[in-house]
Amino acid sequence: MSERNAALLRGLSRADPIIEIGPSFGPVAAKRDGWNTTVVDHADREALVAKYAAAPNVDTARIEAVDRVWTEGPLDALFPAAEHGRFAAIIASHVIEHIPDPLGFLRSAARLLEPGRGMLVLAVPDKRWCFDLLKPPSTTGQVLAAHRRGAVRHAATTLFDHFAYSATDAEGRPGWGAGEAVPTLRLGGPLEDALAAFENCDERPEAAYVDCHAWQFTPSSFALLILELGALGLADWRVEWLRPEPAVEFLVHLRRGRQEFATPELREAARLALLRQVLLELRAQTDWLVPAAAPGAAPENAALGPRLAGIEAELRRLNEQLPPVLEAALWTRAALRPARAAWRGLLPLRRAVAGLRGRG
């Protein structure tokens, strides 16, 4: 077992009843390894094998029998009521970013897990180190909007953004290690494809599902989402453990029971701290991405250095000229002081002359 999968499974035993969603050809808690896992996927095993038969570097033998095929409706509807509340964990690796209604998913998952013990285990793409890097992090407001409209298909705006702003490296890789040099980026397709996806989008439940990354997260933006949903009483989860990985993703354990704060002020301080951390995470991406956007310096960056040097030289010249100018101004002020005093001394005479002119 990889160290990554061992981390995801920490706190679980092979005897624990587990649901794994969308394991495809890379299960975390594989039945063949003795895990008591119910496999949920969007198609049965035969369809998955056919889907990946021609894919390079995919071992279709790792695809396990699918126990529940999930194509629509809430997750808990796949299980009889007698099985609700009996599972120790739900594992979803690179799944939540595809789900049209994440809040609905969080609520549905809660109904299947053991009260007080059940754990939601997630591996989430870190938008900084995958093809989502050019998109902004998703917000709680966007998640709430998707839930309010009862989203079962991705919105037209989501599909447009997916096709317009996804990016790969020059070799077409969709992900890379944190800070790994990616000298050349390319957009996934022409802008016209994004418009076509937007115009052809059908959000009705009976429409064909078009897959995409609907949600983009950094580690802190995801933690903020869970905190805010809990604080608003909309989802009863808290982040128990979160670990950024050296490439592509971060790992999360969610536990039932929202995060509690002694005062509203402490809650707002926690939100602000996470928002600041999001900015730091995005700055790390920007510091990595901007110099890596092209070998050497970009033309505008190449011209920036001489321009800054010229500005600095002009400031130095002005600074050198400033003392003589100030000295001349002070001398002039001192030289004019007697003349100003004399002019003030002539004030009575000037008033008398003005009076005579007025009578004339």
Decide if pLDDT at 18 tops 60: yes
Mean of all residue pLDDT scores within the chain: 87
Decide if pLDDT at 300 tops 50: no
On whether both 228 and 126 belong to a single domain, the answer is yes
Which one of 260, 292, 324 terminates a domain? 292
On whether both 187 and 326 belong to a single domain, the answer is no
Q: Which domain holds residue 328?
A: 299-359
Which one of 259, 275, 292 terminates a domain? 292
On whether both 143 and 235 belong to a single domain, the answer is yes
What the block records as the tokens of 316 is: 């130095």
Stronger pLDDT, 274 or 284, i.e. the higher one: 274
On whether both 341 and 326 belong to a single domain, the answer is yes
On whether both 134 and 210 belong to a single domain, the answer is yes
**What secondary structure letter does DSSP report for 90?**
E
On whether both 113 and 155 belong to a single domain, the answer is yes
On whether both 249 and 196 belong to a single domain, the answer is yes
User: pLDDT class for 304, splitting at 50, 70, 90?
Assistant: very low
Taking a C-beta distance cutoff of 8 angstroms, is the pair 38, 67 a contact? yes
Which one of 273, 292, 311 terminates a domain? 292
Q: What is the pLDDT of residue 57?
A: 86
Q: Which of 36, 92, 46 is nearest to 66 (CA)?
A: 46
On whether both 239 and 322 belong to a single domain, the answer is no
130 strand-pairing partners = 175
Q: Which of 62, 73, 11, 60 is nearest to 33 (CA)?
A: 62
What are the φ/ψ torsions at residue 357 (nearest 5 degrees)?
Answer: -60, -35
Query: Do the domain assignments include residue 163?
Result: yes
How many structural domains is the chain composed of?
A: 2
Decide if pLDDT at 330 tops 90: no
Query: Do the domain assignments include residue 242?
Result: yes
